[in-house]
Amino acid sequence: MSALLAAAPGPGLKYRAALSIGYGGGLRASEVTHLKVRDIDSDRMLIHVERGKGGKDHDVMLSPSLLVLLRDYWREARPQGWLLPGQSRVDPISPRQLNRAFTSAKRMAGIKKPATLHTLRHSFATHLLEANTDVRVIQVLLGHSKLSTTARYTHVATKTLGDITSPFEHVKGLT
């Protein structure tokens, strides 16, 4: 993930910030593109997502490292309304621009595996699951109403399976 995010096209930090928000907050492309400067809450370390899928508002975590990157980006670009303005600065960056930035970063990072911008969101959920985060917490972070929707993102990773001990190991006297 580090190589992909570091390879985000420049000049400047705009696309690195955009892709990092997608991964760091587990956001959909449309949620990333519609963030406003005021949605970054550095006091509570949250990113506020207005009218995500289904028209729901929700908050996601803002990591300290992501906040540092966003502050660097803000000092460089001085966005006013939209956090990631498009070329006209009146409109937000388009999902198409964001997809092109992702594709370029993937190529520059030498990543051959199939991946889309949505892979950042999927990786966010998978990495949280691998770190033993409760699936219900992941559900809230992704803004899902139903746990079954979250379950599609959190396929059981091989690493996680290897870390689990069968309850049979605790049964005494059978072997």
Query: pLDDT by residue (tens digit) across 70-101?
Result: 999 999 999 999 999 998 878 899 999 999 99
pLDDT digits (tens, 9 = 90+) for 15-59: 999 999 999 999 999 999 999 999 999 999 999 998 766 667 888
100 catalytic? Reply is no
44 catalytic? Reply is no
153 catalytic? Reply is yes
Q: Which residues contact 18 (CB under 8 A, 6 or more apart)?
A: 8, 32, 33, 84, 93, 98, 101
127 catalytic? Reply is no
- Which of 153, 155, 170, 172 is labelled catalytic? 153
Contact (CB, 8 A) for 85 and 38: no
Short-list 149, 138, 150, CA closest to 61: 138
28 catalytic? Reply is yes
Rounded to two decimals, the pTM is 0.83
- Which of 36, 48, 100, 118 is labelled catalytic? 118
Short-list 53, 60, 171, 81, CA closest to 125: 60
Report the pLDDT value the prediction gives residue 173, as an integer from 0 to 100: 65
- Which of 48, 53, 100, 127 is labelled catalytic? 53
Report the pLDDT value the prediction gives residue 164, as an integer from 0 to 100: 59
53 catalytic? Reply is yes
**CATH class of domain segment(s) 2-162:** mainly alpha
- Which of 16, 28, 34, 122 is labelled catalytic? 28
Query: Would you list the domain boundaries of the chain?
Result: 2-162
